[in-house]
Structure 1
Amino acid sequence: MPSSFGNALRVSVFGQSHSASIGCVVEGLPSGFKVDQGALAAFMARRAPGQGRWTTPRKESDTPRFLSGLNPAGATCGAPLCISIDNSNQRPQDYEELRRIPRPGHADLGAQAKWGGSQDVAGGGHFSGRLTAPLCAAGGIAAQMLDKRGVRVAAHLLSVGEAQDQPFSALDMDPPSRAELARQMEALAQGGPFPTIGKAAGRQMLEAIEAAHQDLDSVGGVIECVVTGLPAGIGSPIFDGLENLIARACLGIPGVKGIEFGRGFEASRLRGSQNNDAWQVDGGRICPVTNNAGGSLGGISTGAPVLFRLAVKPTPSIARAQQSVDLELMRNCPLEVRGRHDPCIAPRAVPVAEAMAALCALDAWLSFAPEGHPFSLSEERDG
């Protein structure tokens, strides 16, 4: 079964963590769009390994090769877009022991039960977060297409352990809140390699990651993502709703264990009078006064920012000894994981969340556009 998602825009990934290359095939991209290769490289660099002590020291250039889908001028040509990324820093020998001793917190045991030892265990094989590199390449292109229509995507680390960043100002639709959200998104666009709005929060998160690293351990985090400028009416009820598309794609990001939209689980503690988003006429458009729903009702966009959060678990590969089993001897045994691993995978997953949001927003617009408002690259920006 292919590792793919999407409707009108179909994305499939291939490869393993230590295979010769990894990549993806994207079908359904609108034709005639010239990809900004410089902007794409900058976007992918945010996910790349080796940026500091808070990432794995594995060095990979993550340079995408376009095998098909672009014409000689560098524009999408209507054919499926095939992107390949070489794995230039392979060390499969670090994982030989895992063929018989599965790692706690990983898919090793499930893969063994499913494929009976034929699976590639090195670096997690096809389960690896390495597969998010081509997804960032595809999502970076989708984000450029959306930007042409005035749609912006941004994400940040809301928390790591107990350290907290300021949340996106996206739950209220008054002018000061909208101005603050624009400021926050601009701060992230102009910020450094660590993805927080507040610099002090970033320092606290780095301290939490370093403390876990020194303890031969790891730590998790929460990613908050927002999509602005998406017009009302995009999506579908029931199973192909806007939230459904985003949730399915984002739960495919290795390490993501939960997702919520708008107020999320907090809404379960409110009354309807507190959680409902009242409607108002603003500048000739109908929009909600608040955005507790997170930009979608009934699976269809409301015109408010689409806001969601992802819970990312602590990196399961840690240097301290853990209990596991020897599959050959069928007995309990200790395991100390070798190799190169992030003490916190959440920072590098931030651009992946943006990539998935962009791919899903573009897919929803292409698949379930409001009547008379199809996605078109020839139209002027809406915002």
Structure 2
Amino acid sequence: MAGSTFGNHFKITTWGESHGRGVGVVIDGCPAGLPLDEKDIQKFLDRRKPGQSKFSTQRKEADAVELLSGTFEGKTTGTPISLMVFNKDQHSKDYGEIANYYRPGHADYTFDMKYGFRDYRGGGRSSGRETIGRVAAGAIAAKILKQLGISFCTYTRSIGPVSISSSAKELLAGDLSEITEKILSNPLYMPEELPCQKAQDFLKSCMAKKDSAGGIIECAITGVPAGIGEPVFEKLDANLAKAVFSIGAVKGFEIGGGFASAASLGSENNDSFEQKDGKTTTVTNHSGGILGGISSGMPIIFRAAIKPTPSIAAPQKTITRDGENIEISIHGRHDPVIVPRAVVVVESMAALTLLDLILEHMGSRIESMAQFYRTIV
């Protein structure tokens, strides 16, 4: 199988299946000297692990990470880092009957058409459990970026018809530590209490109908200097889109004004430049912090649309591998909504993308290369 590796300079390769012995990631390109232990990574994994609330699958996995290589005496060595999480609570029998039919909304049919064979236990390689490797690697990328003064604020913007009222700009204008605490302290990772309660009520009604819901995740990145990203095929916004779209449940991506920009005028959509407190900034941020594929120094703001969980207990029509029309009801342990657990996955993919392009940027100017070289000789 091709396509399990992401990145050019900070490169990750994820491996494993939902009901195999475990899942994990190998990271190449991490700088030496970064203080790192399993606790740093576990904080991120705990944000996506199952069983945290009644709105997530009740599969009981601790998702305890094991750091197998790439560190010595608590710091990275510059060699490949290998991380692994063992699968402990597989109920493979829950998936026995689906071996002979295709679940609506899943990759069962397309996997069969590509390989002529598939691991039907929880989706195998196309399972959401594959994202454990991404999140583990993203934790390391985010730690490096934090040392560079770059921060992430990622949260649930909406679930079904229920949305928060604050814009990303309004949230960033507040106390970020307080906002982050609110996000992490509720089961839906929403920064506002009232919409969170309304969304929970909506999800309860979906569960009563044996149905599921989708939503939107928003990510705001601050502290990114101007100049990160390449102008043609390695654009920062294009790479973010690819990274986020590589997450299985994502069906839409927009940055800055996004699709609303199509209905605006140039005079409304253009971000006017100004000097403020000795810094170049823009009055508005319709571009989402990226111009021509390169960061502008403004906050990078993007959104990802997450589809409803395809595994639902309500009756659905499908076909068997032999082409027989049948009706099914999917049973087992499934999330009624994927959005909350996907928040940290989106953040991780953004961190991986940004770090990779920052490392690329280090060779953009000869004076920067010369300055760096002089510090090591």
| TM-score (norm. length: structure 2) | 0.93
Q: Distance in 1 between matches of 2:178 and 2:258?
A: 21
Question: Is residue 216 from structure 1 mapped to residue 210 from structure 2 by the alignment?
Answer: yes
Q: Which position in structure 1 is the counterpart of 2:298?
A: 304
Q: Distance in 2 between matches of 1:11 and 1:238?
A: 23
Residue 342 of structure 1 aligns with an amino acid whose one-letter code is D
Q: Which position in structure 2 is the counterpart of 1:228?
A: 222
Question: Is residue 86 from structure 1 mapped to residue 86 from structure 2 by the alignment?
Answer: yes
Question: Is residue 341 from structure 1 mapped to residue 334 from structure 2 by the alignment?
Answer: yes
Q: Which position in structure 2 is the counterpart of 1:57?
A: 58
Question: Is residue 195 from structure 1 mapped to residue 162 from structure 2 by the alignment?
Answer: no
| TM-score (norm. length: structure 1) | 0.91
Deviations 1:309-340 (A, max 9, x none): 00000000001111011213x21011111221
Q: Distance in 2 between matches of 1:75 and 1:185?
A: 31
Q: Secondary structure at the match of 2:104?
A: coil
Moved more, 237-246 or 104-113: 237-246
- Unpaired runs of 5+ in structure 1? 171-175
Alignment check: 8 A CA contact 2:183 2:191 kept: no
Instruction: State the 1:359 CA deviation.
Output: 1.0
Instruction: State the 1:12 CA deviation.
Output: 1.2
Instruction: State the 1:283 CA deviation.
Output: 2.2
Q: Distance in 2 between matches of 1:210 and 1:189?
A: 20
Q: Secondary structure at the match of 2:45?
A: helix
Q: Pairwise mapping of residues 284-299 of structure 1 onto structure 2 (< 5 A)?
A: 284-299=278-293
Residue 46 of structure 1 aligns with an amino acid whose one-letter code is R
Q: Distance in 1 between matches of 2:120 and 2:83?
A: 24
Instruction: State the 1:208 CA deviation.
Output: 1.3
Residue correspondences, number: 368
Q: Which position in structure 1 is the counterpart of 2:324?
A: 331
Q: Distance in 1 between matches of 2:198 and 2:43?
A: 25
Q: Secondary structure at the match of 1:180?
A: coil
Q: Secondary structure at the match of 1:153?
A: strand
1:263 is aligned, of 257, 261, 278, to: 257
Q: Which position in structure 2 is the counterpart of 1:114?
A: 114
Q: Which position in structure 1 is the counterpart of 2:69?
A: 68
Q: Distance in 1 between matches of 2:89 and 2:184?
A: 30
Q: Secondary structure at the match of 2:237?
A: helix
- Unpaired runs of 5+ in structure 2? none
Q: Pairwise mapping of residues 1-383 of structure 1 onto structure 2 (< 5 A)?
A: 1-35=2-36, 37-71=38-72, 73-116=73-116, 118-170=117-169, 179-180=173-174, 182=176, 185-188=179-182, 191-328=185-322, 330-369=323-362, 371=365
Residue 231 of structure 1 aligns with an amino acid whose one-letter code is P
Q: Distance in 2 between matches of 1:269 and 1:313?
A: 25
Question: Over aligned residue pairs, what C-alpha RMSD do you find?
Answer: 1.9
Q: Residues 132, 324 of structure 1: CA spacing in aligned structure 2 closer, same or farther, 3 A cutoff?
A: same
Alignment check: 8 A CA contact 1:166 1:197 kept: no
Q: Distance in 2 between matches of 1:336 and 1:277?
A: 50
The 4+ residue runs of structure 1 with deviation greater than 6 A are none
Q: Which position in structure 2 is the counterpart of 1:173?
A: none
